[in-house]
Amino acid sequence: MKIETKSSFFVDSHKFVVSNRKLAGQSLFEILIAISIGALIVGVSVITISVTLKSDTKNTSASFAVPLARDLLEKVRSVSGGQWSDLYGLSPKGSAAQYKVVESGENLSIQSGAEIIMDNNINYTRSFSVENVGRDANGSVVASGGTEDPSTQKVTATVVYSDNAQIKVYEYFTRHKNDVSRFTDWSSSTSYSALNGIDVNTVGEIKLFQ
């Protein structure tokens, strides 16, 4: 009886040990699964946070880039207002040609190339391009063709920032300060022609004195 009891105890103990091993194996497996799920959640969280931070950075950069573009357009407007030919006479023209406005004291001038402005460790590359403008028979601006209007230019300011993101802002600049002179007397000794070396003595002809 005692032997059977010991034998029974041994068997029960053995079963118990095996049962504990199974439980230990299951617990380890569950821990590994939990760790894997936790790592996956943390990884997704890191990616989400990273994407959110990048998105916030781009939004902040864009909010800074727009005023930069508008500021450049205002500088170009100032130059063209002082001397229209400084804008209209630029060559080459088109979206591929880059220009910048350079400040020298109180004076502004247009030069080829782009400028780099840094803010919060982000580089902003700023430039503008100029295009001739055509109008139809009704005087409306057309996308292509038409009759060129030398008193209107399309100016596009471009700002490129992080990850090659960019914004473009354009306006149509118009020459509004034209100098107009009207003459009715071309033949008297005090007329414009006499004072400026223009010969109008022959009917139907205008000659410049050498």
The proportion of the chain whose per-residue pLDDT surpasses 90, expressed as a percent, equals 45
Tokens of 84: 């229209």
What is the pLDDT at residue 81?
Answer: 92
pLDDT higher than threshold 50 for residue 18 = no
Give me the residues paired with residue 155 across strands: 130, 171
CA atoms of 106 and 200, how far apart (whole Å)? 45
pLDDT of residue 176: 73
pLDDT of residue 162: 81
* pLDDT of res. 12: 44
Span of 133-137, 139-143, 179-183, 193-197 with lowest mean pLDDT: 179-183
Element spanning 179, H or E: none
Residue type, 88: Y
- Using an 8 Å Cβ cutoff, are 99 and 129 in contact? yes
* Rounded average pLDDT over 119-143: 93
Statement: residue 159 has pLDDT above 80: yes
| Distance in angstroms (rounded) separating the CA atoms of residues 86 and 83 | 6
Task: Domain ranges for the chain, please list them.
Answer: 1-176, 180-210
- The one-character DSSP state at 144 is S
Higher-pLDDT residue of 65 and 16 is 65
